[in-house]
Amino acid sequence: MKGRLTFRNATEEDLAIIVEMLADDELGRQRERIEHPIPSTYMKAFQAIKADSNNELIVACCGEKVSGVAQITFTPYLTYQGGWRATIEGVRTSSSVRGKGIGTALIKWGINRAKERGCHLVQLTTNRKRKDALRFYEHLGFKATHEGLKLNLN
Amino acid sequence: MKGRLTFRNATEEDLAIIVEMLADDELGRQRERIEHPIPSTYMKAFQAIKADSNNELIVACCGEKVSGVAQITFTPYLTYQGGWRATIEGVRTSSSVRGKGIGTALIKWGINRAKERGCHLVQLTTNRKRKDALRFYEHLGFKATHEGLKLNLN
């Protein structure tokens, strides 16, 4: 792993490498579209994320190289006496640096960011097909107390 | 059930009855605080929800009476080629009208709202302790494909 690991908000220039990471696993391959330049739908979504103060797209960089990505959404709820929650989604690390602790560092960074934003809870869902992911998150202290349900509208 | 069932955005005046609904089950009782007037943290969260165009707090009304509540969060993601998702949380119906299909109508309303907002997916998590909820959502077409993980920060 070359260089120090740092975290920052993603920029437009990071989009192509982020989409490559999203596409680089069994589930992502079926969902994403790798073209050059990248399809404009990604750019539109990026602009919407950037414009929303309750959404942050974070990249982990080894030196200059973008090696991990995660999106954090901060949401105010009435439940828990009006508590804010952080939801983490779209977590990926580059396959070239896998097993080097970047995913762990990225989630820990997200947890700290959630604390900074005054959240009482961090939540995420993980597809049961991603066998290692559940262990990974439980190791970080998450409890699998909930069923995660999805309804496809397409 | 008196009167027609309608749906609208919650107002400040609905807050006390919404908090009562949130507190009126085994899990909610441990989390919420019923006082008159209601604790200011609920009002603060309500204002934050109201100020955020990607959050909607919806009430179901039987005639004039608020009988159900749900929060919908619309989130732009890079995944799925830059798709928007709707997340439904904090779904409750008044115990006095339970079993009359208000919960079903409320979720169906949320699904339609998600379509209107251009979402490709509706997602939610439900605590495994709420035994009937999983069946309820599966009946509405949701698939329990994911583990729902939570990390408490308090």
Q: So what's the pLDDT on residue B50?
A: 98
Q: Within 13 Å, how many C-alpha atoms sit on residue B112's CB side?
A: 8
Whether A1 contacts chain B with CB within 8 A? no
- Identify the pLDDT of residue A27: 86
Distance from the Cα of A152 to chain B's closest Cα (Å) equals: 5
Q: Is the pTM of this model over 0.90?
A: yes
Give me the CATH code for the A5-139 domain, please: 3.40.630.30
CA B46 to chain centre: 13
Which residues of chain A have a CB within 8 Å of the CB of B55? 75-76
Q: A77 and chain B: CB distance < 8 Å anywhere?
A: yes
Report the residue of chain A nearest B51, measured CA to CA: A76
Count CA within 13 A, CB hemisphere, residue B139: 10
Say whether the ipTM exceeds 0.90. Answer: yes
Burial state string for B18-37 with b = 16 or more CB within 10 A and e = fewer than 16: bbbbbbbeeebeeebeeeee
More confident: A34 or A3: A34
pLDDT one-digit tens code per residue, B18-52: 999 999 988 888 999 999 999 999 999 999 999 99
Q: State percent of chain A over pLDDT 70.
A: 99
- Chain-chain contact of B145 with A148 (C-beta, under 8 angstroms): yes
The owner of tokens 């989409």 is: A19
For chain A, what is the radius of gyration of the CA atoms? 16
pLDDT value at position A131? 81
**Per the omega criterion (within 30 degrees of 0), is the bond before B37 cis?**
yes
Low-confidence ranges of chain B (pLDDT < 50): none
User: Confidence band (pLDDT; 50, 70, 90) for A138?
Assistant: very high
Angle between helices B15-23 and B40-51 (to 10 degrees): 110
pLDDT digit string, tens, across residues A60-95: 999 999 999 999 999 999 999 999 999 999 999 998
Q: Determine the average pLDDT of the residues in A18-36.
A: 91
Cβ neighbours of residue A40 closer than 8 Å, sequence gap 6 or more:
none
Position A1 scores a pLDDT of 58
B50 and A CB contact within 8 Å: no
When pLDDT is cut at 50, 70 and 90, the band that residue A97 belongs to is confident
Could you tell me if B121 lies within 8 Å of chain A, comparing CB atoms? yes
Q: Do A71 and B89 touch (CB under 8 A)?
A: no
Query: What residues have CB less than 8 Å from A109, skipping those under 6 apart?
Result: A7, A58, A60
3-state DSSP assignment of residue A89: strand
At residue A2, the pLDDT reads 62
Q: In what order do the strands lie in the sheet with A84-93?
A: A5-9, A55-62, A65-76, A84-93, A119-127, B143-152, A143-152, B119-127, B84-93, B65-76, B55-62, B5-9
